[in-house]
A and B are shown apart, each in its own frame.
Chain A
Amino acid sequence: MNILAHITLRYLKLNKKRTLVTLLGIILSISMFTSFFTLMDSFLVNIEKTRKQSNFGGESNFDFSNINCENIEKITKNSVVTSYNISRNREFDEKANKLVGIYPDLQSGEYSRHCLIKASKPVLEAAKIHLETGDIPQNSNEIIVPRWFVKQRGKSFNVGDTVKLIKKDESLEKIGEVEYKIVGILSKKGGYIYDLLGYLDENKVHSSEQFNIRICVKDSSDDSKEKIKKLEKDLNQPHTMSSNFRDPLGDAIIRSIIVSVVGIILLTSVLLIYNSFSISVSERSQDIGIISSIGATNNQKISLVLFEAIFMSLLAIPMGLTIGVLGVWGLLGTINSIVRGYSFQDVDLIISPLTFLNAILMSLFTIFISCIMPILKFSKFTYINLIRQNHNIKLSKRNVKTSWIIQKIFGFEGTLALKNLKRNKRKYFTILVSLVTSLFLFIVFSGFLNFLEKSMSIASPDEICDLNVTPQKVDVATSEEATIKDVVADLKSLDAVKDTFVRRSLFLELDESVLKESFKKSVDRFSLSTKHSYYISLQCFDDEVFEEYLKNIGLSPSDFNDTTKIKGIFLNKFREVENEKIIEGEIYNIGVGKKVNAKHKLYSDTGEINGEASFEIEVGCFPSRGLFNSSAIADKQNPEVIVSKKVFEKILNDINIKGRSNKLGGILDLKIFATLHDKYKTNEDLLYEFDEEMSQMGSLVQHQNNLINALKSGNAVLISKLVFYAFTALISLISATNVFNTISTSVSLRKREFAGLKSVGMTNKSFNKMIYYESFFYGMKTLIYGLSLSFVVLKLIHELLSKKFEFPFSLDILSIAIGISSVFLLILLSMIYASSKIKKENIIDILRNDNI
Chain B
Amino acid sequence: MEILKVENLRKTYGKKETQTIALDGISFSVDRGEFVAVIGASGSGKSTLLYSIGGIDKPTSGSITVDGEDLLSLNQNKLAVFRRNKMGFVYQFYNLIPVLTVKENICLPILLGKNKVDEQKFNEIIEVLGLEKRINHLPNQLSGGEQQRVSIGRALINNPSIILADEPTGNLDSKNSAQILNLFKKCNHDFNQTIIIVTHDEKISNQVGRVITVADGKIAEEKSN
A717-741 CB contact bits vs B (8 Å, 1 = yes)? 0000000000000000000000000
Contact B85 A850 (CB under 8 A): no
Using C-beta atoms within 8 Å of the partner chain, give the interface range for chain A. Answer: 20 to 34
Is A290 part of the contact surface with B, judged by Cβ < 8 Å?
yes
Contact A384 B113 (CB under 8 A): no
State which of A10, A295, A299, A382 has its C-beta within 8 Å of the C-beta of B99: A10
Contact A851 B112 (CB under 8 A): no
Q: Who on chain A is nearest to B96 by CB?
A: A852
Q: Interface residues of B, CB < 8 Å — how many? A: 36
Known contacts: A299-B77, A300-B112. The answer to whether A11 contacts B99 by CB under 8 A is yes
Is B178 part of the contact surface with A, judged by Cβ < 8 Å?
no
Bound complex: CA A605 to CA B84 (Å): 118
Q: Who on chain A is nearest to B48 by CB?
A: A384
Is B145 part of the contact surface with A, judged by Cβ < 8 Å?
no
State which of B56, B112, B154 has its C-beta within 8 Å of the C-beta of A384: B56
State which of A293, A298, A382 has its C-beta within 8 Å of the C-beta of B77: A298
| Residues of A contacting B77 in the complex (Cβ-Cβ under 8 angstroms) | 297-299
Contact B81 A293 (CB under 8 A): no
Is B35 part of the contact surface with A, judged by Cβ < 8 Å?
no
Smallest distance from the beta carbon of A469 to chain B beta carbons, Å? 79
Contact B97 A291 (CB under 8 A): yes
Contact A292 B56 (CB under 8 A): yes
| Residues of B contacting A372 in the complex (Cβ-Cβ under 8 angstroms) | none
Q: Would you list which residues of chain A between 1 and 31 have a CB under 8 Å from chain B?
A: 2-4, 6-7, 10-11, 13-14
Is B100 part of the contact surface with A, judged by Cβ < 8 Å?
yes
Contact A10 B95 (CB under 8 A): no
| Residues of B contacting A382 in the complex (Cβ-Cβ under 8 angstroms) | 51, 56-58
Contact A383 B57 (CB under 8 A): yes
Smallest distance from the beta carbon of A692 to chain B beta carbons, Å? 72
Contact B99 A286 (CB under 8 A): no
Question: Interface centre among B84, B100, B109, B112, by most A CB within 10 Å?
Answer: B112
Q: How many A-B pairs with Cβ below 8 Å?
A: 87
Is B130 part of the contact surface with A, judged by Cβ < 8 Å?
no
| Residues of B contacting A850 in the complex (Cβ-Cβ under 8 angstroms) | 93
Contact A852 B76 (CB under 8 A): no
Contact B112 A294 (CB under 8 A): yes
Smallest distance from the beta carbon of B15 to chain A beta carbons, Å? 13
B105-140 CB contact bits vs A (8 Å, 1 = yes)? 000110111100000000000000000000000011
Is B104 part of the contact surface with A, judged by Cβ < 8 Å?
yes
| Residues of A contacting B41 in the complex (Cβ-Cβ under 8 angstroms) | none
Smallest distance from the beta carbon of B13 to chain A beta carbons, Å? 11
Is A657 part of the contact surface with B, judged by Cβ < 8 Å?
no
Contact A296 B112 (CB under 8 A): yes
State which of A3, A10, A287 has its C-beta within 8 Å of the C-beta of B111: A3
Is B94 part of the contact surface with A, judged by Cβ < 8 Å?
yes
Contact A295 B113 (CB under 8 A): yes
Contact A294 B154 (CB under 8 A): yes
Is A387 part of the contact surface with B, judged by Cβ < 8 Å?
yes
Q: Who on chain B is nearest to A8 by CB?
A: B99
Known contacts: A290-B95, A852-B96. The answer to whether A3 contacts B57 by CB under 8 A is no
Contact A298 B100 (CB under 8 A): no
Smallest distance from the beta carbon of B215 to chain A beta carbons, Å? 21
Smallest distance from the beta carbon of A15 to chain B beta carbons, Å? 9
Give me 20 other A-B pairs in contact (C-beta within 8 A), A293-B83, A387-B95 excluded.
A7-B100, A11-B99, A13-B99, A286-B95, A290-B96, A293-B54, A293-B95, A294-B88, A294-B154, A295-B85, A295-B109, A296-B112, A299-B77, A300-B80, A300-B112, A382-B57, A383-B56, A384-B51, A387-B91, A850-B93
Residues of B with Cβ closer than 8 Å to A?
51, 54, 56-58, 76-77, 80-85, 87-89, 91, 93-100, 104, 108-109, 111-114, 139-140, 147, 154
Give the top 7 A-B pairs by smallest Cβ distance, nearest first.
A295-B84, A10-B99, A3-B111, A383-B56, A295-B83, A297-B80, A293-B56
